[in-house]
Amino acid sequence: MEKQRTPDGGPLRRIVIVGGGTAGWMTAAPLGQLMARVDPKARCEIVLIESPDIGTVGVGEATLPTIRFYNRTLDLDNAEFIRKTQATFKLGIEFKDWGHLGNRFFHGFGEFGPAIQNRSSVMHWLRLRSMGGMDSHEHWSTATVMALRNRFVPPDGDAPSAANAYSYAFHFDAGLYAAYLRDYAMARGVSREEGTIVDVSVRPGDGFVTAVTLDDGRRIEGDLFIDCSGFRALLIEGVCKAGYHDWTHWLPCDSAQAVPCDKTAPLTPYTTSTARSAGWQWRIPLQHRTGNGHVYCSGYTSDDEAGRVLLQNLDGPALGEPRQLRFKTGMRRKTWDRNVVAIGLSSGFVEPLESTSIQLIMDGVGRLIELFPDKRCDRHLANEYNRRMAQQYESIRDFIVLHYKLTARDDSEFWRYCSGMSIPDTLNHQIELFRRSGRVTILDPDGFAEPSWVSLLLGLDCWPQRLDPLLQQVDERALRTHFERLRQAISQTVDGMPDHGAFIDRYVRAEPLQRARP
């Protein structure tokens, strides 16, 4: 029997990124920065192939606070980035009609006050609430109070205070962001090839991809191929047949329509998610327009009806016709297979309810750099990459499923399905632990933190039946005094902040675009 050939070792000499858009250029930028610092004799060439005939999805315009660390790693000028991408600031997400009609709650970025005797502030708040006389926990979230008053300044100071007890992210035009990173990457040596891939060559024996051929006959060879081809998954599925974990039984939405509209005042520093009869609608305010979309399940409503609901609930005139999107929630069984790594939509898709798509791109390229291979693409590196990506995907999946499962809505067949559906054992454990003890467990250290889970659990009316008995060690009167002082400090601090729109106009206002991007 012939022994399978082991790929030759040695450093990578060329990385080929298949696909542009947000995923492609967010991958190319840090790789270009990394290689620009390497000795030219040992430098790895980076080539990105982008087809002018294939559009990008472009629904991921809201982000999580970690986008700031990605930008900082690239040494981007924050003010320039905001102006170039028509960005605004994001303090969290406002949820409307989730859980029950008329419900409203906020998922803010930040804590609900400092821990007390090694127990979270919320646990102590729950104890006081059970005794009566406590307002909503949202009064102790600086980000939430800021958002509801349309105020914004970046956190200030090093000593813990209400002036820095919050974080923030951005809303931006994903197309403009990709173009901004394209210029950044190409300035650091990344080359761009325009064309459509019509053939893929693989090495006999081990199935490693060796080259791709473009429609004009050019053949581009490489040692490592990064699949940023979106839902097409040209290499990871088309060539490697990595397989797919289908999660539509937990996340049944399979369609979306997206359309921008004229911007309206006030310029809110948060995303809005409004539950509809067969899904939900997003609203993302940018400097030059407002992004909107309707995510829905085609089994419970028609495309025409979904489009009507979307257009009927815009703040201003639509800037074009809604763009139709189809998807299947889930993830690849392997996101790194042989010498192919999938990043972005080619690796999987969890609907944009909590703005995780760009987060998964950042973490995908970050882990690739951390586990950077040589030409052999050792399978143990790939296994570790796949383990960590799977853990993150599953944690995000559970957090999104939580939004649907904890509903009391019975006004439509869709919501009746969601309330009655089975859920992953991991999520069931997290819900029941909180319901029975008020404790939150975090299964993925890189996933959503305790305050985020608390915001959703309480916002969806999941209340603990019992509390940690050690909470009784804190004097009730002293505890109430502490919470009242903290609430006043937050309120007074936010009162002194400028309006979100005024802050942007003063410091980071972008030049008007001639035409709003669809």
Which is the catalytic residue, given 90, 263, 334, 405?
A: 90
Is 93 within 8 Å of 107 (Cβ atoms)?
Answer: yes
Q: Which residue shows structure tokens 């397989």?
A: 243
**Could you tell me which of 169, 26, 173, 15 has the C-alpha nearest to residue 87?**
173
Assess whether 90 carries a catalytic annotation: yes
**Start-end ranges of CATH 3.50.50.60 in the chain?**
14-86+173-244+329-395
Is 159 within 8 Å of 118 (Cβ atoms)?
Answer: no
Burial status of residue 74 (CB atoms within 10 A of its CB: 0-12, 13-18, 19 or more): middle
Burial pattern 11-45, b for ≥16 Cβ within 10 A else e, equals: ebeebbbbbbbbbbbbbbbbbbbebeeeeeeeebe
Distance of CA 181 to the CA centre of its chain: 18
As its CATH architecture, domain 14-86+173-244+329-395 has 3-Layer(bba) Sandwich (3.50)
**Residues in contact with 77: Cβ distance below 8 Å, sequence separation at least 6, in sequence order:** none
Burial status of residue 51 (CB atoms within 10 A of its CB: 0-12, 13-18, 19 or more): middle
Half-sphere exposure of residue 63: CA atoms within 13 angstroms, side-chain side: 25
pLDDT under 70 in the chain at which residues?
1-8, 54-60, 514-518
Q: Which two tokens stand for residue 508?
A: 């980071």
Is 25 within 8 Å of 236 (Cβ atoms)?
Answer: no
